[in-house]
Structure 1
């Protein structure tokens, strides 16, 4: 099977969230046109990533926005530089957090942002139909991208970074403990214990080209 793309990742050990892209390299922006930076209304500095769904909607993680008001947030669709002015900017008008989101164990960690306009960017994420097993099996490479640190305690990159990591079985993931113990129907794991596991929760994925 081919690899899949997933743009929102949570990396950590023992339940600590540290959005790193360990071992990453500059992303091929042609493949990540849907990548969206979540920023403050009056800022260019990204604090979370998302996927542009088209029609003025962005998918992101609930833990990124559950305590914010729409008036505090904006996005940069196709923004690949950290704290840059690139990408198409739009303001957030509504935040729809999954009604069963649990901020303690991050179950149902998903939210939709409604924008004040439809972005002209023609790169939107392809929403996967069916479960992950239709696209990948344990050991297949998954592509993840973000603006997180490239190493534990390292600096933030200036441009979007990407890395390929193997899909890990639920059983292996649970051995990491912490929030990984709850991996199952609404989440999956990728990575390795040496570089850090990536726990992806209810993230839209699409076959990579």
Structure 2
């Protein structure tokens, strides 16, 4: 089975307009789906969970509010975008509602070493045009190594698909998944880097982030420890989801938060 960046972003083009689904190359599945094996979540419980949308309101990635005017997401969600093309929607669990706030983006920072999600550095920070009144989520730092221990229960959230290639969720969904060991992830993915990434998922599969969840949070210990990044399919046995290891990039993320 071809390896797929199943949490990836949209492509602009006639096909997207025709089917309203984000697609990439033949070997790459996009991230515009919902949590596989998840349940509905209340935005009041996870107020720092946001999503990225086009100017027309189409949701294509997730994000995490880490400061009143700063959102952490994946670099592959913002690569090639101008700030004027991105909207951040906060306080809205039902995408068909008008609840919450739609903020414009004034600056997009992408990690300078980012080339591809499977290589690492898949992190981006967005600066909003206003301060939002929602609670923010602290980011993991180098002092939080214990949060990355294998077996740690972590929470995933998003509006992505409930199956690979399925329809995007109307509502915010959530699930819990255990972090895997570095050895387990290395055996699943030759590209895995224990410095840049962390994996999460059950051995038997069944619960995972999926298309459309890219950029969304992986949370443990009350902190953002990961950013939904890539993986092989969605919720497949033996192929956990791969997340950007936030603690590795905490210094640069903090610089952007404080800028």
Provide the TM-score with structure 1 as the length reference: 0.81
Q: As a proportion of its length, which structure holds more strand?
A: 1
Distance 1:36 1:13 in 2: 30
Q: Contact between 1:25 and 1:161, CA under 8 Å: does it hold in 2?
A: yes
CA deviation map 1:6-59 (0-9, x unaligned): xxxxxx97243244511000013233100111111x222211000112231111
Distance 2:146 2:60 in 1: 32
The runs of at least 4 aligned residues of structure 1 exceeding 4 Å deviation read none
Structure showing greater relative contact order (alpha-carbon pairs closer than 8 Å, 6 or more residues apart)? 1
Determine the structure 2 residue equivalent to 1:103. 116
* Count of paired positions: 189
> Structure 1 pair 62/170, CA: closer, same or farther in 2 (3 Å)?
same
Structure 1's unaligned 5+ residue stretches are 1-11, 205-209
Structure 2's unaligned 5+ residue stretches are 8-30, 207-234, 248-259
SS where residue 192 of structure 1 aligns? Answer: coil
Provide the TM-score with structure 2 as the length reference: 0.67
> Structure 1 pair 137/104, CA: closer, same or farther in 2 (3 Å)?
closer
Distance 2:36 2:172 in 1: 13
Q: 1:26 pairs with 11, 36, 40, which one?
A: 40
**Deviation of the 1:183 alpha carbon:** 2.7
CA deviation map 1:49-94 (0-9, x unaligned): 0011223111110000011001111111222123542221110011
Determine the structure 1 residue equivalent to 2:19. none
Q: As a proportion of its length, which structure holds more helix?
A: 2
SS where residue 135 of structure 1 aligns? Answer: helix
